[in-house]
Chains A and B, each alone.
Chain A
Amino acid sequence: MTTVRSTPEASTLGRRLRRLPWTLVAALVFLGILAVAVIAPQALATHDPFALDYPASLRAPSAAHWFGTDESGRDLYSRVIWGARESVLIGLGAAAVGLAGAILLGSLAALGPRPVRATVDRFVEILFAFPALLLALLLVAIAGPSALTQIFAVGLGTAPGYARMVRGQILTAKDSGYVRAAVALGHSRSRIVRSHILPNALRPLVAIFALSVGQSIVWASSLSFLGLGVAPPASEWGALLDAGRSYIVQAGWLVVIPGLVIVALALTATTIGRHVQAGLERGEKS
Chain B
Amino acid sequence: MRFTPTAAGATGLAAILALSACAGATTSTGERVDGGTIVYAHQQEPFCVFGGWIEQAYLSYQVLDNLTSLDENHEVVPWLATEWSTSEDGLTWTFTLKDGVEFTDGSPLTAEVVAYNFDYWVSGGNSTALVWLQDYYASAEAIDELTVQINLSAPYPRLADNLTQGYFGIQSQVALETRTDEENCAAPIGSGAFIVDHWDRGEEIVLVRNDEYTSWPANAEHTGPAYVEEIVWRFVPDATTRVAALQSGEVDAIYDVPAVQWQTLDDAGYQLEKYVTPGRPQQLAFNTQVGPFTDVLVRQAFAYSLDRRAAVEAIGQGVIPYEGNGGVSQTTPGYSQAAADWYDYDPEKANALLDEAGWTERDADGFRTKDGERLHVVLPYGAGSIINADGAAILQGVKEQASQVGFDVELIPVPLSELVAGAYSQPAERDINVGYWTAVTAGILYINWRPSTEEAPNYSNGAFYNDEVLAQLIRDANSAADIDEQNALYIEAQDYIAERALSIGLYDRLSTLAVDTSLKGVWQEHAQGGPTFYDAYLTE
Contact = CB atoms under 8 A, between A and B. Distances in A.
A57 B389 CA distance: 16
Interface string A9-49: 00000000000000000000000000000000000000000
B392 A52 contact: no
A246 B314 contact: no
A51 B412 CA distance: 20
Interface string A70-81: 011100000000
18 contacts: A52-B311, A54-B397, A55-B314, A58-B260, A71-B393, A72-B314, A72-B315, A72-B397, A72-B400, A227-B413, A231-B410, A231-B411, A231-B412, A232-B413, A233-B396, A246-B390, A249-B20, A250-B260
Contacts of A227: 383-384, 413
A231 B413 contact: yes
Contacts of A52: 311, 397, 400-401
Interface string B406-422: 00001111000000000
Interface in A240-286: 243, 245-250
A57 B259 CA distance: 14
A54 B392 contact: no
A232 B396 contact: yes
A233 B399 contact: yes
A145 B261 CA distance: 29
Interface in B373-407: 383-384, 389-390, 392-393, 396-397, 399-401, 403
Interface residues of A, number: 22
A247 B315 CA distance: 11
Q: List 7 A-B pairs, minimum CB-CB distance, nearest first.
A: A54-B314, A233-B396, A246-B389, A71-B393, A54-B310, A52-B400, A57-B314
Nearest to B313: A54
B311 A54 contact: yes
Contacts of B383: 227
Contacts of A71: 260, 314-315, 393
B239 interface: yes
B65 to A, nearest CB: 37
B258 interface: yes
B264 interface: yes
Contacts of B412: 231
Nearest to A55: B314
Given A227-B383, A233-B411, A245 B240 contact: yes
A246 B260 contact: yes
Given A232-B392, A232-B411, A50 B400 contact: yes
Interface in A154-213: none
Contacts, number: 63
Contacts of A51: 400
Contacts of A246: 239-240, 258, 260, 389-390
Interface residues of B, number: 30
A250 B264 contact: yes
A51 B397 CA distance: 9
A263 B325 CA distance: 46
Contacts of B310: 54
Nearest to A250: B260
Residue of B238, B315, B400, B412 with most partner-chain A CB within 10 A: B400
Contacts of B392: 232
A236 B390 CA distance: 20
A225 to B, nearest CB: 12
Interface string B332-373: 000000000000000000000000000000000000000000
Nearest to A73: B314
Interface string B142-167: 00000000000000000000000000
Contacts of B315: 57, 71-72
A87 to B, nearest CB: 19
Contacts of A231: 410-413
Nearest to B412: A231
A232 B389 CA distance: 11
Contacts of A54: 310-311, 313-314, 397
A246 to B, nearest CB: 5
A146 to B, nearest CB: 10
Residue of A58, A72, A232, A249 with most partner-chain B CB within 10 A: A249
Interface in B211-247: 238-240, 243
B141 to A, nearest CB: 49
Residue of A72, A73, A246 with most partner-chain B CB within 10 A: A246
B311 A233 contact: no
Nearest to A53: B314
Given A71-B260, A233-B411, 9 more contacts: A52-B397, A52-B401, A54-B314, A72-B393, A72-B397, A73-B314, A231-B413, A232-B396, A232-B411
Nearest to B411: A231
Contacts of B400: 50-52, 72, 233
Nearest to A71: B393
A50 B397 CA distance: 9
A54 B393 CA distance: 11
Interface string B257-275: 0101100100000000000
Nearest to B243: A249
A233 B400 CA distance: 9
Interface string B1-45: 000000000000000000010000000000000000000000000
Contacts of A233: 396, 399-400, 411
B482 to A, nearest CB: 44
Contacts of B397: 52, 54, 72
B502 to A, nearest CB: 26
B240 A145 contact: no
